[in-house]
Structure 1
Amino acid sequence: MKELRWFLDLAETQNMVDSSVKLGVSQSALSRRLAALESEVGAPLFDRHGRHLSINECGKALAKSATEATGVWQRGVEEVHRLMDPERGTVRLDFMHSLGTWLVPDLVRSYREDHPHVTFQLVQGAAQTLIDHVLAGEADVALVGPKPTAFVESGELGWKQLATQRLALAVPAQHMWADRESINLSEAADEDFVAMLPGYGTRMLLDELTARAGFRPHLVFESMELTTLAGLVSAGLGVALLPLGDPNIVTPGMHLIPLREKRERELGMVWKAKTSAALAAEAFRDFVSERAEV
């Protein structure tokens, strides 16, 4: 960028003496720089009038582009400085929709109490989409569930478990099983199911558990929100696999029957393994990991 700065200064002063004094170089050195630049672009950039210079149309065109390039470069330098400052960086945090009402607000609020100048770029989506974002370097961390075992075991992703939730079969309050205290998922093979769309964490668990139970669920509705599933169940439109312990999906007219299967919904944080991240993102990741161990 030094090559651009001296040229922009000369374009502004249009005076070889003034620019050489300001830049701290000799007039002869500045003249050689200008001659070399004009040779490179293939056109004179100033009209000469004795010792005086007058920037011409070619010089104005180059100065305009040089100003834009310098601005882009400076913004890039500032962005690097920001990324290297753990107290003023940006954390690109992705998370599942179901975590947006409790876990994410709590983590962000708690972190910003001690790091008020850190900003967060928040993205919600399906668990698989969020995992793909992390793998592609489009997110620093993601809060997902269940654990993406294949990626963790291959070493592509790091994983920190934050919580587990037991799973239940949600049925309408008037369902014949509404007073059951537990159930095997295989018993629901002939039921109509409402489920999350493919790629969402709870849908992954439903597909896994029904495959183990030896049946494919008959899906009548699909959604992107667990709260919508709860509403559909309470309306008598089907049964659903839902996590226990989430107050946001407790809906009148619905009963949750704990599954006898031992499978739980893991909730955790993933990040791209063996890859350096912005210092602010690394600090936030450490903060979340330490909280999980308390």
Structure 2
Amino acid sequence: MQNEAMLNAPLDLVRLRLLAEVARHGSMTSAAAALAYTPSAVSQQIRRLESDVGQPVLDRHHRGVSLTEAGRVIVEHTLAIERNLEALRVRLDDIAGLRQGSLRLGTFPTVASSLLPLAVTGFRRAYPGVRLSVHSARLRQLLDLLDRRSVELAFLWEYEWSRITADSLELKVVTEDPTALVVAQSHRLAGRESVDVAELADESWIIRGDNHPVAEVLSRTAHAAGFEPSVAFEANDYQEAQAMVAVGMGIALAPRLALANLRADVRVLRLDGYAPSRRILLARLASRVVTPAEQAMADVILDLGRNGTVGC
């Protein structure tokens, strides 16, 4: 039982490396001199190693010492451990220096088609060795991905009536995404740069279906201007909404970032008066340690927002 306990005892890496040094230098005296130890300290550690493994690791004779079979196995594996540790140091240095590593990013469709390509291009130009993966989802799914640590960073959005207040998240504002008006090229307002919301009381409207937030934006915008919007079509996405606008089914509101891929037969106007904009946020779990790749991507994204590159 005592021998079994010794064999199951954890091995001390310092003692393993001492044995490798003895083998490298040919004697305990030479190994001690190379390591700035005393010969007795080296001898004591080797005997403790022999106690740990339950068998001799050195043959001691008048010409010095030589490795036993167990000693040769220990040195072989210790040298492999040292090579792996050196490779680990190199990889950790590469990760810290953003020469390799990975980053998982969460996003949603209107950012994925507007801001995200700019961020990915800038990041990959600066850090080509970092592997990026992106998951596009709805707001609740993005919050879940963050909570489950399936992504390190995620784009989120909020309106003034639906602020994200999770204590578990660290949130940074990337940009304000204004609400714009989309009209057909043939519409009476198409030649204008801006329009007051009150001028739109008699228009038919294209909205997003399934209780999409932009429907709430239209409701609040119209009510603030004193009218009830007349809905002509509920679209599944912004491209479908643009198509219905183009053929004269009605006009539509959309966040400016949702209009990155604009049809040639529609026009975008600025809204005067009350028209709530949404805030684009960059989120991470507050409890996580920030990785170098995560910080670098956050810097790229926030610089895009500060420089006014998005929402134009």
Per the shorter chain, which TM-score range? 0.5 to 0.7
CA distance in 2, matches of 1:197, 1:122: 26
Partner of 1:114: 126
- The range that moved more, 86-95 or 173-182, is 173-182
Q: Secondary structure at the match of 2:277?
A: strand
What are the equivalent positions in structure 2 for 1:1-294 lying under 5 Å apart? 25-26=53-54, 85-86=95-96, 87=98, 88-146=100-158, 151-153=163-165, 155-198=167-210, 202-203=214-215, 205-210=217-222, 212-213=224-225, 215=228, 218=231, 220-224=233-237, 226-244=238-256, 248-263=260-275, 265-277=277-289, 279=291, 280-293=293-306
Shift, 1:152, TM fit: 4.4
The unaligned stretches of length 5 or more in structure 1 are 7-23, 28-77
Shift, 1:271, TM fit: 1.3
Shift, 1:263, TM fit: 3.9
Deviations 1:242-278 (A, max 9, x none): 2458763432332333211254534533214522155
Q: Secondary structure at the match of 2:243?
A: helix
Identity level (%): 18
Give me the CA root mean square deviation: 3.9
Counterpart AA for 2:302: S
CA distance in 1, matches of 2:202, 2:133: 43
CA distance in 2, matches of 1:257, 1:172: 11
CA distance in 2, matches of 1:220, 1:202: 13
Q: Secondary structure at the match of 1:240?
A: strand
CA distance in 1, matches of 2:187, 2:145: 40
Counterpart AA for 1:120: L
Shift, 1:147, TM fit: 5.2
Q: Secondary structure at the match of 2:145?
A: helix
CA distance in 1, matches of 2:151, 2:239: 26
Q: Secondary structure at the match of 1:215?
A: coil
Kindly indicate whether the alpha-carbon contact (under 8 Å) linking 1:127 and 1:200 is maintained by their aligned counterparts in 2. Answer: no
Partner of 2:19: none
Counterpart AA for 2:262: V
Kindly indicate whether the alpha-carbon contact (under 8 Å) linking 2:170 and 2:283 is maintained by their aligned counterparts in 1. Answer: yes
Q: TM-score, normalised by structure 1?
A: 0.58
CA distance in 2, matches of 1:202, 1:139: 26
- The range that moved more, 102-111 or 138-147, is 138-147
Deviations 1:70-115 (A, max 9, x none): xxxxxxxx9xx98x94533332212222233342122112112232
Kindly indicate whether the alpha-carbon contact (under 8 Å) linking 1:165 and 1:264 is maintained by their aligned counterparts in 2. Answer: no
Kindly indicate whether the alpha-carbon contact (under 8 Å) linking 1:198 and 1:204 is maintained by their aligned counterparts in 2. Answer: no
Shift, 1:124, TM fit: 1.9
Counterpart AA for 1:193: W
Shift, 1:122, TM fit: 0.9
Partner of 2:68: none
Q: 1:135 to 1:154 in 2, by over 3 A?
A: same
Counterpart AA for 2:244: L
Structure ID, larger Rg: 2
Q: 1:109 to 1:165 in 2, by over 3 A?
A: same
Q: How many residues align?
A: 221
Kindly indicate whether the alpha-carbon contact (under 8 Å) linking 2:171 and 2:284 is maintained by their aligned counterparts in 1. Answer: no
CA distance in 2, matches of 1:172, 1:102: 22
Q: Secondary structure at the match of 2:218?
A: helix
Q: Secondary structure at the match of 2:217?
A: helix
Kindly indicate whether the alpha-carbon contact (under 8 Å) linking 2:111 and 2:257 is maintained by their aligned counterparts in 1. Answer: no
